[in-house]
Amino acid sequence: MRLGFMAKVYINSTDRKLFTYGDTTGATVDPGRVILADGSDHDRVLFTVNKTLPGPELVVFQGQEVKVRVKNSLVGTETSIHWHGLEMRGTPWMDGAAFVTQCPILPGQTFTYKFKVPRAGTFFYHAHSGMQV
């Protein structure tokens, strides 16, 4: 299968190999062909949400309350989720900047983000602790 621009990949938790999301052939993806969300092409640990990069799409309406439960399944490292471009008026601790607006989520712990989307637009989320991008 040809890996195209913006193809979503996931990591098999058993053998740690990369696969194209939705591909049923079992063909693996060469990690050297994957450019991470920050545009880098150098070796680094890949953090994913629900085993995919990018993580699941969230479709939310302006003014709607969002509740996202995050379980940190990373081994030996904390994490948080930053909601890029969204103003957290009234709930600044939901911004997800570890050690700035919230304590990070420790390994094995869960945290539920709960906030209202103040305006229409397209936004993204990403890990925001230490060197995670």
29-41 tens-digit pLDDT: 777 666 666 555 5
Average pLDDT over residues 75-86: 87
Task: Region of 51 please: left (phi>0), alpha (psi -120 to 50) or beta.
Answer: left
pLDDT of residue 110: 96
Task: Report the mean per-residue pLDDT for the chain.
Answer: 79
pLDDT of residue 46: 63
Percent of the chain with pLDDT strictly greater than 90: 19
pLDDT band at 14 (very low <50, low <70, confident <90, very high): confident
Q: What are phi and psi of 15, to 5 degrees?
A: -110, 0
Average pLDDT over residues 99-119: 92
What CATH number belongs to 65-127?
A: 2.60.40.420
Buried b (16+ CB within 10 A) or exposed e, 65-103: eeebebebebeebbbbbbbeebebeeeeebbbbbeebbe
The pTM is what? 0.68
Average pLDDT over residues 54-71: 89
In the chain, CATH 2.60.40.420 sits at 65-127
Q: Does residue 9 or residue 119 have the better pLDDT? A: 119
Q: Does residue 4 or residue 129 have the better pLDDT? A: 129
Beta bridge partners of 84: 124
